[in-house]
Amino acid sequence: MRILIVEDEARFLSILLRSLKSEGYIVDGVQTATDGLEYLKS
């Protein structure tokens, strides 16, 4: 299972991604809702 995080604050997104990846999760992140929707469609 993959996790998608949508967060507009780049620094916070980076921290979340790094933390979850270090725990073994497969994580992707985008900064806008539009990018999130496009990611889900692909």
End-to-end CA, the chain: 16
At 1 the pLDDT is: 83
Range of the domain at 20: 2-41
| Tally of domains in the chain | 1
At 39 the pLDDT is: 95
At 15 the pLDDT is: 98
Q: The pTM is what?
A: 0.85
